[in-house]
Structure 1
Amino acid sequence: NISVVGTYLIALTPWTYILSRHAHEGVIGALLMLLALYFLLDLSKGFSIKAMLLTNLFIILAANSYHSYRMFVFFWIFWQIVLLGFYKTKVKFNRIFFWIILFFTILIPLSIDAGSSLNRVGNLLFTQNPGIHLRLQEYLIEHGSTLIHNIYTQGIVDISNRYISQISPEFFLIWGDKNWLFGYQYLGLITLVEYVFIFIGVYYLFREHQFHRFLLLSLLLISPIPNALTWQDASLIRVYFMIFPLLFITSYGLINFLCDIKNYRIRLLTVFGLISMYGFFLLYHWDVYLFHYPKRIEVIRAWQCGYKELGQYVKNNYNKFDKFVITDRHGQPYIYLLYYLQYDPAKYQKQAIMTIPDSYGFGQ
């Protein structure tokens, strides 16, 4: 019942569709993370080389699917070491082989990073935001104590605030991602019912001494960290995986809560009330997403609509004007013009001069 309810909740939440509808790499990474979790849970039932190899294979693949999932490599390593301690006296296995596998699980992602550019990741770190340095400078002018006002203390404050913002009711229920590509006001990621049952689920995890309670909770709590380390606002992309442990816990709390209601009629009324509330909020969120979100001008601009028509206009009027003046306020128009004008890539690459990476780590 718990797995059925969890699957149902995940299948209906807008959270999963906002990114999956345009095949974002973070979604592929989430799938690989779930496979790693599946085989880790299989490993917890009894040590096997197959389960361990598959766990670490999917850890490596997930870490190289999207940069946020690199943060989880050490999480998975930690839990495998915990299992090693658990099996210390119960199961015999080759410990040297175990440590070699863990070593390569860390080494492979690091080796790939060493051989590629990390401009985008580096530019997104909170230390690269001019705002934190300007704020620090202002504080030092007002109160010159470097013990209190330094990059480390300010970093702790900023990271903590961003972390809290990722697990706040505003993020879950009202705004979600404030980037118009991935969110909009009143486009809730989960419903109020699901949010309440997160806390109820945590209660039942500990009351029932659920074997995997610490694994689930730690997986939930580590999920906001990748974005907390950046200078950006709450981001759906970097916490996409959080929906899975979150709704696992929600469904666990929901089923146990209903099972604790012994009176059949009261339980039936409770189920009806919860479904009605859930359905109302879910319908409202989907209404915003399907019928209002795509019609807002800021969303249209964020998705950079109109470049096809612009390309066609340039093509039809190319010989009528000496030059075209096109703003880059809403994106990088040269990409779209090259595509829609069917400009030869080989010819362009010979004459293109790459600019230095911008604040997001992209050049043009």
Structure 2
Amino acid sequence: MSKKIIITLALITFLGGLLRFRDITTNPPNINTDEAAIGYNAYSLLKTGRDEYGQPWPLAFRSFDDYKPPLYIYLTVPSVAAFGLNEFSVRFPSAFLGTVAIIVTFFLTKKLLGNQVTALFASFLLATSPWHLQFTRTAYETGSNAFFTSLGLLLFLKGLEKKWYWLLAGIVFGLQTHLYQASKIFVPLLLLCLFVIYLPRLRAKILSLFLFGAPFLAIFLPVVFLATTTAGVLRFQGTSIFQDPKSHDRQLAIVTTDWLANDNKSVRLFHPESLTYYQDILTGYLSHFRPDFLLTSRDSSKITYVPEVGLMFLWEFPFLLAGLYYLFHRRDKTATALLVGWFLISPIPASVTTGLPNSVRTAIFLPVIQIITAYGLINLFPKLWRPLKISIVLFALYSLAFYGHMLFVHAPISASSSWYSGYKKIVLDSIALSSRYEKVIVTTLLDQPQIFYLFYLQTDPKTYQMAGGTVGGGFGEQGNHIANKYYFHSINWFELENEPNLLLVAAPREVPIEARKRIIGEYRSLDGTLLAYFLKT
């Protein structure tokens, strides 16, 4: 590589790192429940080798009964060891891997398309991608998919020339299946795509492929086993369209008309339940290619925390379409097949779930969208009318500046309620007051409050586990307590008002008029939403 290319890539990486690390502990304004759980479980592993439930080195973390994949939590262990248990250590692995993904994307694009300028543009687009940034500024496991996918592909392609790279590729892809739920389906589909595309070259390397297959299967097979356990089934049922009451109700409404007409044959012929699911799956799949999903903040996951900004910039979309066009007109169809295949299989894992389109479950689109867009940009832009070129450049710069303004100025306020702003102050203030009271009772209406107390108290995991550890997530959270001091359950003022010396952390709707005189503090999020009252008995 020339010195100019190296310097440009370094500047792009610096920009990407700046966008990911600036104000990372306060924007989003608070860690959420999942981030707190990731942090405390990493801390517990570091200190005891067990999770909050006392399970040694689990392959699925029970947490809130959602059975989290383990990889990101294990990646957080050295971060917690280095920086302590805090917001930075929890978000650091995501921001770090997100920054490194910019470099890996450069080398993958260069390997696939053979053009360093295209590779630089792909890296720049990933560095400034709103979609990638929203997940690599937080401890969302899905944000690290871009790193693992691009690194795995790069190593696989290099393995076609030097077989020992396949050993590393097998490890990387195997680990990715433990990163996020969608990755468990996406990675095997991507590998199938790879083997079909490169079959002519792989036939002569069957024995060498053992270097890839052995580590991959050794790491991946536990995922297959877990899918058959209660943990795997519960996780799937929680988001599956096959368990969605709305799908069942829609099917029932359709067949009722035929039943009323005593036409059971039509029910079996035209309205089998499988047809309803097929339509739901196809609709969900196609929804992820809609411009309103990609270009606006219409995301059912509700965690696109930068207001007025979509998953990609408006000016990028025409070049994405152009990139697809030019890929299909390349002489070398191998790279086209891989990139288009990657692009088309990315929404498949999300398609069998509810709440679509969903940017969290389809972040595996990254960085293929940026690579295709960069290819369209490098081919189409030089052919445009000069005033149009200037307009596009100015609009792109304005879009990036607008995004930066919305990210660092508006997002902390607009996302304050959905990102638990005010929770840290509630926890720290109640901890500071706790010595004056016999017990601190915290309402579970605050959404898994026990994990925030474990996190900010930095509760000793060994002591916590000896006392029973976490009783349960989900509905089981009512039985949790910490050090016989902090108790977590719903609050009934009339049952507790006569108990001596309690500090109650209650939701507004749990505080009747009669209790208002016992309020000693109120807590609001950054946008002014009332979160909780402190009351004393």
TM-score (norm 1): 0.83
| 1:28-56 Cα deviation digits (max 9, x unpaired) | 3321111111123334xx45422333332
Q: Distance between the aligned counterparts of 2:169 and 2:125, measured in 1? A: 26
**Is the contact between residue 13 and residue 282 of structure 1 (CA under 8 Å) also seen in structure 2?**
no
Residue 156 of structure 1: how far off its partner (Å): 1.5
Single out whichever of 174-183 and 6-15 deviates more from structure 2: 174-183
What's 1:250 paired with?
373
Structure 1 residues 331 and 193: CA distance shift in structure 2, 3 A: same
Letter in 1 for 2:136: S
Higher relative contact order (Cα pairs below 8 Å, separated by 6+ residues): 1
- Deviation of the 1:65 alpha carbon: 1.9
| 1:120 and 2:267 aligned | no
In structure 2, the residue matched to 1:314 is: 430
Question: Which residue matches 1:19?
Answer: 135
- CA RMSD of superposed structures (Å): 2.9
Query: 2:165 & 2:329 partners in 1: Cα distance?
Result: 29
* Alignment partner, residue 283 of structure 1: 401
* 2:307 matches 1:196: no
Structure having the higher strand fraction is 2
Are residues 176 and 12 of structure 1, via their aligned partners in 2, closer, same or farther at CA, if it must alter by over 3 Å? farther
Q: Is the 8 A contact 2:170 2:213 kept in 1?
A: yes
Gaps of 5+ in 1: none
How far is 1:98 from its partner? 2.7
Match of 2:174 in 1: 60
Cα separation, 2, equivalents of 1:357 and 1:142: 39
Alpha-carbon contact 2:301-2:355 (below 8 Å) kept: no
Does the CA contact (< 8 Å) of 1:26 and 1:240 recur in 2?
yes
Q: Which residue of 2 aligns with 1:220?
A: 343
Alignment-mate amino acid for residue 394 of structure 2:
S
Q: Distance in 2 between matches of 1:4 and 1:240?
A: 21
Which residue in 2 is equivalent to 1:235? 358
User: Which residue number corresponds to residue 219 of structure 2?
Assistant: 108
1:347, distance to aligned residue in structure 2 (A):
4.8
Which amino acid in the other structure matches residue 251 of structure 1? A
1:16 Cα deviation after fit: 1.7
Select between 245-254 and 71-80 the one with higher mean Cα deviation.
71-80
Counterpart amino acid of residue 403 in structure 2: H
Q: Which amino acid aligns with 2:172?
A: F
Per the TM alignment, residue 322 of structure 1 is displaced from its structure 2 partner at its CA by: 7.0
Q: How does 1:1-364 map to 2 (within 5 A)?
A: 1-43=117-159, 46-71=160-185, 72-86=187-201, 88=203, 92-93=204-205, 95-98=206-209, 101-102=212-213, 105-106=216-217, 108-115=219-226, 117-118=231-232, 119-144=234-259, 145-175=267-297, 177-183=299-305, 185-211=307-333, 212-260=335-383, 266=385, 268-296=386-414, 299-315=415-431, 316=433, 319=436, 324=441, 326-328=443-445, 330-341=446-457, 343-349=459-465, 350-351=467-468, 354-355=471-472
Contact 1:178–1:233 (CA under 8 A) maintained in structure 2: yes
Structure 1 runs of 4+ with >6 Å offset: none
Preserved contact between residue 295 and residue 314 of structure 2 (Cα < 8 Å): yes
- How far is 1:290 from its partner? 2.5
CA apart distance, 1:345: 3.9
Q: What is the rounded CA distance, in whole Å, between the counterparts of 2:251 and 2:469 in structure 1?
A: 39
The alignment partner of 1:135 has SS state of helix
- In the TM superposition, what whole-angstrom CA distance separates every residue of 1:186-227 from its partner, at most 9, and x where no partner exists? 221211121111111111112233431111011011111122
Per-residue CA deviations over 1:172-197 (Å, capped at 9, x if unaligned) read: 11115343433455221211121111
The AA in structure 1 aligned to 2:257 is E
Measured at CA, do residues 84 and 274 of structure 1 come closer, stay the same or move farther in structure 2, by a change above 3 Å? same
CA separation of 1:184/1:150 partners in 2, compared to 1, >3 Å: closer, same or farther?
farther
Amino acid at match of 1:213: T
Which letter does structure 2 place at the counterpart of 1:79?
L
2:304 corresponds to which letter in structure 1? F
- In 2, the alpha carbon distance for the partners of 1:344 and 1:38 equals 42
Q: Give, in whole Å, the separation in 2 of the partners of 1:343 and 1:311.
A: 13
Q: Which moved more, 1:338-347 or 1:234-243?
A: 338-347
Alignment deviations for residues 119-144 of structure 1 (CA, whole Å, 9 cap, x no partner): 32442222122222222223222344
Q: CA separation in 2, counterparts of 1:338 and 1:57?
A: 33
**2: CA distance, partners of 1:135 / 1:154:** 8
Distance across 1 between alignment mates of 2:458 and 2:167? 46
Q: Tell me, in whole angstroms, the C-alpha distance in 1 between the residues paired with 2:145 and 2:129.
A: 18
Sort the Cα spacing of 1:282 and 1:143 in 2 relative to 1 into closer, same or farther, 3 A.
Answer: farther
**C-alpha separation between the residues in 2 aligned to 1:356 and 1:308?**
20
Counterpart residue type for residue 125 of structure 2? L
Separation in 1 of the partners of 2:435 and 2:163?
64
**Structure 2: unaligned runs, 5 residues or longer:** 1-116, 260-266, 481-537
Tell me whether 162-171 or 283-292 shows the greater mean CA deviation.
283-292
Q: CA deviation at 1:102?
A: 3.5
In structure 2, C-alpha distance between the alignment counterparts of 1:143 and 1:287, rounded to whole Å: 56
Q: 1:38 to 1:152 in 2, by over 3 A?
A: same
Q: Following the alignment from structure 2 to structure 1, what is the Cα–Cα distance between the partners of residues 179 and 434? A: 42
CA distance in structure 2 between the partners assigned to 1:246 and 1:327 by the alignment? 41
Instruction: Give a deviation string over 1:208-248, Cα, whole Å, max 9, x none.
Output: 33431111011011111122221123222222231311111
Distance 1:254 1:344, change over 3 A: closer
Letter of the 1:289 partner, please give it. Answer: L
Q: Is the 8 A contact 2:171 2:219 kept in 1?
A: no
